[in-house]
Amino acid sequence: MRFATWSDNGQSIYGAITDAGGIALNSQAPQWPTLLDAVRGGGLGTLESLAADQAVTHTDLTYEMVLPNASRILCVGVNFPDRNAEYKDGSEQPKYMSLFPRFASGFTGHDQPLIRPPESPQLDYEGEVAIVIGKGGRRIAQSEAYDHIAALTICNEGTIRDWVRHAKFNVTQGKNWDRSGAIGPWLVPFIDPAQLDDCRITTRVNGEIRQDDAVSRMMHPIRRQIEYISTFMTLQPGDMIITGTPTGSGARLDPPQYLVPGDVVEVDASTIGTLRNTIADEKL
Q: How remote is the C-alpha of 189 from its chain's centroid?
A: 14
The Cα 282–Cα 262 span in angstroms is 14
Residues 115-171 have pLDDT tens digits of 999 999 999 999 999 999 999 999 999 999 999 999 999 999 999 999 999 998 889
The Cα 13–Cα 15 span in angstroms is 7
First to last CA, the chain: 39
Residues 72-110 have pLDDT tens digits of 999 999 999 875 556 555 666 778 999 999 999 999 999
Residues 187-241 have pLDDT tens digits of 999 999 999 999 999 999 999 999 999 999 999 999 999 999 999 999 999 999 9
Give the Å distances, CA to CA, from 265 to 77, 115, 212, 228, 242.
20, 13, 14, 31, 18
The Cα 164–Cα 112 span in angstroms is 24
Residue 233 lies in a domain: yes
Residues 123 and 180 in one domain: yes
Q: Are 6 and 58 spatial neighbours (Cβ–Cβ below 8 Å)? A: yes
Residue 275 lies in a domain: yes
At a CB cut-off of 8 Å and minimum separation 6, what does 152 contact?
129, 130, 131, 132, 187, 188, 190, 195, 196, 269, 271, 272
Residues 53 and 150 in one domain: no
Residue 68 lies in a domain: no
Residues 34 and 139 in one domain: no
Domain count of the fold of the chain = 2
Residue 171 lies in a domain: yes
Q: What is the pTM of this model?
A: 0.96
Q: How remote is the C-alpha of 275 from its chain's centroid?
A: 9
Residues 10 and 108 in one domain: no
The backbone torsions φ and ψ at residue 174, rounded to the nearest 5 degrees and listed phi first, read: -85, -10
Give the Å distances, CA to CA, from 263 to 168, 201, 235, 279.
31, 19, 36, 6
CATH number, position 220? 3.90.850.10
Residues 157-176 have pLDDT tens digits of 999 999 999 998 889 999 99
Angle at 150 (CA atoms; ends 140, 34), nearest 5 degrees: 125
Residues 156 and 239 in one domain: yes
Residues 41 and 119 in one domain: no
Half-sphere exposure for 102 (CA within 13 Å, toward CB): 33
Residue 250 lies in a domain: yes
Choose one of 63, 81, 101: the last residue of a domain: 63
Q: Does residue 179 have a pLDDT over 90?
A: yes
At position 62, the amino acid (one-letter code) is T
Residues 90 and 130 in one domain: yes
User: What is the reported pLDDT for 91?
Assistant: 63
Residues 182 and 228 in one domain: yes
Parent domain of 113? 73-281
Residue 142 lies in a domain: yes
